[in-house]
A and B are shown apart, each in its own frame.
Chain A
Amino acid sequence: MALTQVQPEAMSREDFLKAMVSRLDGKRHADYPFLKAVRTGAATRGQIGFLGVAFYHFTKVTPQVLSTIHSRCDDRRIRRRIMDTLIDEDTELRCGSKGHDALAMDFATRFTGWTEGEVENFDRPRWLKDMVDYRFKVAREMPVVIALGNSGIASESHAPEMCRLISDGLREHYGVKDEDQESWIVHIEGDEDHSETAFKVVLDNCKTPELQQMMLWCIDEYTRHWGNFWRACESGAVPIKK
């Protein structure tokens, strides 16, 4: 991780946007070989099972991360936007026939043949605990606008492509019906709105060099955690019971 030297003046909106986008270059989800392996059918079922279980443990804390940010936010308009995302993530009312944690659980159990209890009690590796801890730390301690950008820009802005690659690979090479992989499909278009919201909120509110540098640091840090996630999927595997 490299901390960029704080510049004396804030970047313009356009330059800040360019800086954020360029920080993602080469570190988007779809840049990792594991995603290409799923798309082309080269990944093993054990590796994909590992992805399903790990993704459940990542996804299940998202509502609490979001509600932590919501509880710290003084701006009613931004709270409303967070609430919209929270409804998508944690309920069956919109964007998904179940909360996204339940959809992730469905995929994990249906693909691996594991019970819900087995998925829930999966011994989370250190890197996954660190990733979850990082998400909560940002939500609890960083300025609200940075915490929103951390989720929306550093992760969700490039999630649709990830989900599309996984979904197409699962359907084409592993015989997974769409109804058994709703967890991925609902994000293919749905996350676009979350990402746009995050970019707008960050650009509207990060107008000091300190905030801008903090945002860039978060992009570096969260994409580093995601790098760990994808490399672990490549090297990991779980037994498939069906």
Chain B
Amino acid sequence: MGTRHPRVRRAGRMKATLRPWPEGFAARPTLTLCVNVRNEEFMPSCGRRGSLEIRERLEAALLERRVEVDFQTIKCLGLCNKGPNARLAPSNSWFTAIGLSDVTSLVELIEAELAKLDVSRKGEVPNGTHTSST
């Protein structure tokens, strides 16, 4: 692990923008974490803000809790000023300013989003009652 950048986000300041799953989505959702390390230290990049360490913890946590998501990395999600960033697809839900201490909360949020997807696939509304009248 390289030298930590002074602006690494350690405190839990993560912001989540959660959006509904598209109707009829039947495949496995994808969680993508940005791991870009820009050469220029004066420009923001998720990797310099701690996402390389976040990746390790997040991958382990997803595995440990058997979260049914395809975990990927990318070199840029396009919101560098807000990083470290992750995106859940295809709901297009965003997690920005992720700190190392946010990993558990992030996994819990993803589990909650996947639970919503599971409910919608079963044709239920979140309180557990079926939308169908039959």
Q: Which residues of A contact B (CB under 8 A)?
A: 92-97, 164, 167-168, 171-172, 177-179, 182, 185-190
Q: How far is the CA of A92 from the CA of B47 in the complex (A)?
A: 14
Most buried by A among B76, B77, B81: B76
> Closest CB-CB distance, A184 to chain B, in whole Å?
10
Docked-complex contact B30 and A171, CB < 8 angstroms: yes
Contact of A172 among B32, B73, B90, B92 (CB under 8 A): B90
Whether B122 is near chain A, meaning CB under 8 Å from some CB there, is no
List 9 additional A-B contacts (Cβ < 8 Å) besides A177-B72, A178-B89, A179-B72: A93-B43, A97-B76, A168-B90, A172-B90, A182-B76, A185-B74, A186-B77, A188-B77, A188-B78
For the complex of A and B, the 5 pairs showing the least CB-CB separation, nearest first, are A190-B78, A186-B78, A97-B75, A168-B90, A97-B76
- A185 cross-chain contacts in B, Cβ below 8 A: 32, 74, 76-78, 87
> Closest CB-CB distance, A164 to chain B, in whole Å?
6
Q: Which residues of B contact A (CB under 8 A)?
A: 22, 27, 30, 32, 36, 38, 40, 43-44, 72-81, 87, 89-90, 92, 94
Docked-complex contact B72 and A178, CB < 8 angstroms: yes
> Closest CB-CB distance, B97 to chain A, in whole Å?
14
Docked-complex contact B89 and A171, CB < 8 angstroms: yes
Interface SS, A side: helix
Docked-complex contact A179 and B30, CB < 8 angstroms: no
Docked-complex contact B89 and A167, CB < 8 angstroms: yes
Interface SS, B side: loop
Q: A92-B38, A172-B27, A177-B72 are in contact. Are A189 and B89 (CB under 8 A)?
A: no
- B90 cross-chain contacts in A, Cβ below 8 A: 164, 168, 171-172
- A94 cross-chain contacts in B, Cβ below 8 A: 43-44, 80-81
> Closest CB-CB distance, B78 to chain A, in whole Å?
3
- A177 cross-chain contacts in B, Cβ below 8 A: 72
- B79 cross-chain contacts in A, Cβ below 8 A: 95, 189-190
Docked-complex contact A187 and B78, CB < 8 angstroms: yes
Q: How far is the CA of A111 from the CA of B75 in the complex (A)?
A: 18
Q: How far is the CA of A167 from the CA of B44 in the complex (A)?
A: 24
> Closest CB-CB distance, A37 to chain B, in whole Å?
16
Q: How far is the CA of A179 from the CA of B76 in the complex (A)?
A: 8
Docked-complex contact B78 and A189, CB < 8 angstroms: yes
> Closest CB-CB distance, A165 to chain B, in whole Å?
9
Docked-complex contact A179 and B74, CB < 8 angstroms: yes
Q: How far is the CA of A167 from the CA of B30 in the complex (A)?
A: 12
- A93 cross-chain contacts in B, Cβ below 8 A: 38, 40, 43
- B80 cross-chain contacts in A, Cβ below 8 A: 94-95
> Closest CB-CB distance, B30 to chain A, in whole Å?
6
Q: How far is the CA of A93 from the CA of B48 in the complex (A)?
A: 13
**Closest A-chain residue to B26, C-beta based?**
A172
Contact of B36 among A97, A164, A187, A188 (CB under 8 A): A97
- A179 cross-chain contacts in B, Cβ below 8 A: 72-75
Q: How far is the CA of A158 from the CA of B90 in the complex (A)?
A: 18
Q: A93-B38, A93-B40, A167-B89 are in contact. Are A182 and B74 (CB under 8 A)?
A: yes
Most buried by A among B22, B81, B90: B90
